[in-house]
Amino acid sequence: MASGKTHLAVGAAVGLTVAFADQKKHNVSHHPGTGIALGALFGKLPDILEPSLGNPHHRQFCHSILVLTALGLGLKQMYDWHPEDRVQKCLRGLGLIAGCAYVSHLLCDAVTPRSLPLLGKLG
């Protein structure tokens, strides 16, 4: 089972990788520290939104296949976006870093025995 430290480390690695990859695609400079910090935060975000508190069945909506699918579709749209100015390029990069890091959390959880719920509870 992926631990909080694992989610932070994977999210940070994903954030750094996406920052460098986006830099090549759109010729905009993302600070590596920003990629690492934002990736770590969003790699841990599902567990911040739905903390386990000792409950192994804490995975609900924020950990669901529905959210994973929606993020995938949104990330595809963001990836295909061709921003025109530096602010839009920066926002695109930050969105890609955050979204990919969140997805990394869900993918780490998906390969555990508990996996992900299809929809989960909304409250």
For the chain, give me the number of helices (H) and strands (E)? 4, 0
* Residue 117 covered by a domain: no
* Residue 121 covered by a domain: no
State how many domains the chain has.
Answer: 1
* CA–CA dist 41, 15 (Å, integer): 10
* Residue 84 covered by a domain: yes
pLDDT in tens, 36-86: 999 999 999 999 999 988 776 788 999 999 999 999 999 999 999 999 998
The answer to whether the pTM exceeds 0.75 is: yes
DSSP state of 45: H
pLDDT in tens, 75-121: 999 999 999 998 998 899 999 999 999 999 999 999 999 899 999 87
Domain of residue 45, residue span: 4-110
* Residue 116 covered by a domain: no
* Residue 34 covered by a domain: yes
* CA–CA dist 2, 4 (Å, integer): 7
* Residue 119 covered by a domain: no
